[in-house]
Structure 1
Amino acid sequence: MSDKWIVETDKLRKVFDGVEVIKDCSMHIKQGTIYGFLGMNGAGKTTVFKMLSSLLSPTSGTAKVLGIDITSHSSEVLRNIGSIIEVPIFYEHLSAAENLQVHLGYMNKKNIDIDKTLETVGLPSRDMKPVSTFSLGMRQRLGIARTIIHQPKLLILDEPLNGLDPMGILEMRDLFLNLVRNEGMTILISSHILNDIEHIADSIGIIANGKIIDEVGMAKIKSKTLNSSLEEYFFEKIKEKLEYD
């Protein structure tokens, strides 16, 4: 793996039924950082996430995750990432702990402390209620628990804070920062709530109409040169793109 990039794509494309949904998409994510992936609805964020997670095959271009080509070594990629993409799906008749146990079996991981992981995301470890009784916020917490329990190197999180109350959002932001600083993980995260990204991201990428139009460090956005909030910067870049097109 490159010392610099844990995720690297070059001219990535995805075509569905003759329509180019992702076009000339180049992304660069440093190891041990949080990368905020921003875009309007339908911009292509989830499609990119699915390609990086080997759930979709690119039409053309290249993508490496952990230095591994996602098209030729997808099983190796999957062992080393945790992901929430769209709505997390669970075995509804099983408890939170039982769902995590099934996931660990699938990942061929043993001797993992399930109770500790549940407590980390704010779920009671001894609660045997089926997931079918969980609130949206509890399901989202369980989804996050499932992404981290097998100790992956990269997290790919598509709107992971949906359904959480303000305290839950704060707790998860702190968790993500801890995972990067103390557990050595890297996080690729999307959110429509730009304030959440602004608080935790080291850098951001903005996608519009299937193409990444900007990658920039948060430090630069907040610098004296730009002196912008993330919201101001994001809408300025989207406006420039619309005017250019």
Structure 2
Amino acid sequence: MSNVMAVKTDNLIKTFSGMEVIKGCNIHVPKGCIYGLLGANGAGKTTIFKLLMGFLIPTAGEIEILSMDVMSSQNEILKNIGSIIEVPVFYEHLSASENLEIHLAYMDIVGDIPSILDMVGLKATNMQPVSKYSLGMRQRLGIARALVHKPKLLILDEPINGLDPMGIREMRELLIRLKDEQDMTIVISSHILSEMEHVADIVGIIVNGVVVEEITLSEVKKQFPNGLEDYFFNIMNGGAKLV
């Protein structure tokens, strides 16, 4: 695993209406790894992702993405990031291919739409409007849009939401392939701990706006033979951190 950080935050703070939601948060994501951000609902995962993307402005602290400062290099950073944050929004009356064409035009980038759609289990020849898509198909299209401009970093908030068991397995295999074959860095959140156990190299546990621990999955398995779920609930219940 690389010693170069694709994502790094230093004492990150975000306040809404005088209340600190993100509190002195430090995140370290090595280049070329899959990093799982785990936490209870309301812990701050989506807020952190929006801060990383530059969609929210930090109250204090620093964010570095691909060795660039988020606040001063946002346009360049966004060209190199693909993301799903919350529910993907599309042009409902257009097809999957047409939605991706608009995205590429906006990014001023040329991409191979048919191959990307095939990669996520959709077909470029399907001219059905997105309004007719199931939740799982919309999620696949969201992944396709995140990938079509060939980013160096993927930020995915609950990317397997709405997928059936076969779709979840296919998405797992895709994420691992992107990491192994394209050296892509992936930051992902999910409530499905067993799935994170399959894909993540490192996990960060966020509790009340603070990442309280970052640790490799191999170290988790050494100390918690039953796996990630036991480790996660140990931390959430105030257990000792791993060393």
Classify the TM-score, shorter chain: over 0.9
Residues 221, 228 of structure 1: 8 Å contact kept: no
- Give the CA deviation at 1:3: 4.9
- For the residues of structure 2 that align with 1:4 and 1:197, how far apart are their CA atoms? 23
Name the SS for the 1:89 alignment partner.
coil
Name the SS for the 1:119 alignment partner.
helix
- Give the CA deviation at 1:228: 4.1
- For the residues of structure 2 that align with 1:63 and 1:174, how far apart are their CA atoms? 30
In the alignment, which residue of structure 1 is the partner of 2:98? 98
In the alignment, which residue of structure 1 is the partner of 2:14? 14
In the alignment, which residue of structure 2 is the partner of 1:23? 23
- For the residues of structure 2 that align with 1:153 and 1:228, how far apart are their CA atoms? 33
Please list every run of at least 4 consecutive aligned residues from structure 1 whose deviation after the TM superposition is greater than 6 angstroms.
none
Residue 229, structure 1, aligned to residue 223, structure 2:
no
- For the residues of structure 2 that align with 1:213 and 1:239, how far apart are their CA atoms? 13
Residue 150, structure 1, aligned to residue 146, structure 2:
no
**What is the alpha-carbon root mean square deviation over aligned residues?**
1.3
- TM-score, normalised with respect to structure 2: 0.96
Output aligned runs, 1:53-202, within 5 Å: 53-110=53-110, 112-202=111-201
Amino acid at match of 2:46: T
- Give the CA deviation at 1:147: 0.4
**Percent pairwise identity:** 55
Unaligned runs of 5+ in 1: none
- Give the CA deviation at 1:184: 1.5
Residues 12, 23 of structure 1: 8 Å contact kept: yes
- For the residues of structure 2 that align with 1:184 and 1:90, how far apart are their CA atoms? 28
- TM-score, normalised with respect to structure 1: 0.95
Amino acid at match of 1:8: K
- For the residues of structure 2 that align with 1:52 and 1:33, how far apart are their CA atoms? 17
- For the residues of structure 2 that align with 1:26 and 1:194, how far apart are their CA atoms? 22
- Give the CA deviation at 1:113: 1.3
Amino acid at match of 1:90: F
Amino acid at match of 2:141: L
- Give the CA deviation at 1:124: 1.5
Amino acid at match of 1:205: G
- Give the CA deviation at 1:227: 2.6
- For the residues of structure 2 that align with 1:227 and 1:27, how far apart are their CA atoms? 26
Unaligned runs of 5+ in 2: none
Residues 80, 152 of structure 2: 8 Å contact kept: yes
- For the residues of structure 1 that align with 2:119 and 2:182, how far apart are their CA atoms? 13
- For the residues of structure 2 that align with 1:3 and 1:208, how far apart are their CA atoms? 26
- For the residues of structure 2 that align with 1:109 and 1:68, how far apart are their CA atoms? 21
Amino acid at match of 2:109: K
- Give the CA deviation at 1:226: 3.8
Name the SS for the 1:240 alignment partner.
coil
